[in-house]
Copies of this chain bind each other. A is one copy, B any other.
Amino acid sequence: MPYRQTASTRKNAENKRDGLLRAARSLVASGGFAAATVAAVATRGQVSVGSVYSYFDSRDGLLAEVFRSAAGHEIDVVRAAVTGTDRPATDRLAALIRTFGGRALQGRRMAWALLFEPVNPAVEVERLTYRRFYTDLGEEIIRAGLADGDFVPQDARLAASAVMGAVSEALIGWLRPDSPEPAPGTLDEIERFCFRALGVPVHDREETP
């Protein structure tokens, strides 16, 4: 009875592969891509170094996939949150800011790794796509808002870029192993900042720190 690629073996292989991806991902989440050495991934994935190479062509490839996977997930969540071109642009932009920012807040190291940590050319290519997604999305929403008169006239693309920068800087720019959690309400405040920047009248906050 010859060996057959049964559902269970394939499932298992994918599990292992996923296990390694998870292992790598968790290492990236806690120490950035730099912490995801092949040996570390293997150890955490409870396999040998050689096994890593059964599932991935190279460390660079593995990291690129980790990036794609993590970034893809982020993108999915954000896309879902801002979906619906019939919604008011302000609504959608708020969703973009809060979703992007909220996710960065939980998983700040990962957010930092995805946005900033230098890794290798393959990952840089992925990063380009990842960053472009946010900027394109932001630009599209802002453009829609501009058309509806929600925002004051401005360069939509640059505004999108600036919005992402404001959010990410405020949330993960100060990332340190022991840096404290941003205060609750930070997200609200950033949202207001961005809306003002776009020219949307923002009602006063209740309490002034």
List the interface of chain A (C-beta within 8 A of B). 3, 32, 34, 48, 116-118, 124, 128, 131, 152-155, 158-159, 161-170, 173-174, 176, 186, 189-190, 192-194, 196-199, 202, 204-205, 208-209
Q: Which residue of the partner chain, among B117, B189, B196, B209, contacts A196 with CB atoms under 8 Å? A: B196
In the assembled complex, which residues on chain B have CB atoms less than 8 Å from the CB atom of A34?
A: 118
Is B117 in contact with A205, judged by CB distance below 8 angstroms? no
Instruction: Report copies per complex.
Output: 4
Provide a sorted-by-A list of 12 A–B residue pairs whose CB atoms are within 8 angstroms: A116-B116, A128-B174, A131-B174, A153-B205, A154-B205, A158-B189, A158-B190, A161-B173, A162-B190, A162-B194, A165-B167, A169-B169
A154 and B194 alpha carbons, distance in the complex (Å): 12
In the assembled complex, which residues on chain B have CB atoms less than 8 Å from the CB atom of A48?
A: 3
Q: Taking A153-B204, A194-B197, A197-B194 as contacts, is the C-beta distance between A162 and B158 under 8 angstroms?
A: no
Is A173 in contact with B131, judged by CB distance below 8 angstroms? yes
In the assembled complex, which residues on chain B have CB atoms less than 8 Å from the CB atom of A117?
A: 118
Q: Which residue of the partner chain, among B116, B155, B166, B176, contacts A162 with CB atoms under 8 Å? A: B166
Q: Which residue of the partner chain, among B124, B170, B176, B197, contacts A193 with CB atoms under 8 Å? A: B197
A131 and B204 alpha carbons, distance in the complex (Å): 28
In the assembled complex, which residues on chain B have CB atoms less than 8 Å from the CB atom of A124?
A: 176
A159 and B32 alpha carbons, distance in the complex (Å): 27
A128 and B199 alpha carbons, distance in the complex (Å): 32
Is B165 in contact with A169, judged by CB distance below 8 angstroms? yes
Is B162 in contact with A169, judged by CB distance below 8 angstroms? yes
A190 and B153 alpha carbons, distance in the complex (Å): 13
Q: Please give me the residue from chain B that is nearest to A146 by CB atom.
A: B208
A117 and B176 alpha carbons, distance in the complex (Å): 13
A169 and B176 alpha carbons, distance in the complex (Å): 19
In the assembled complex, which residues on chain B have CB atoms less than 8 Å from the CB atom of A152?
A: 196, 202, 204
Q: Please give me the residue from chain B that is nearest to A173 by CB atom.
A: B165
CB distance from A160 to the nearest CB of B (A): 9
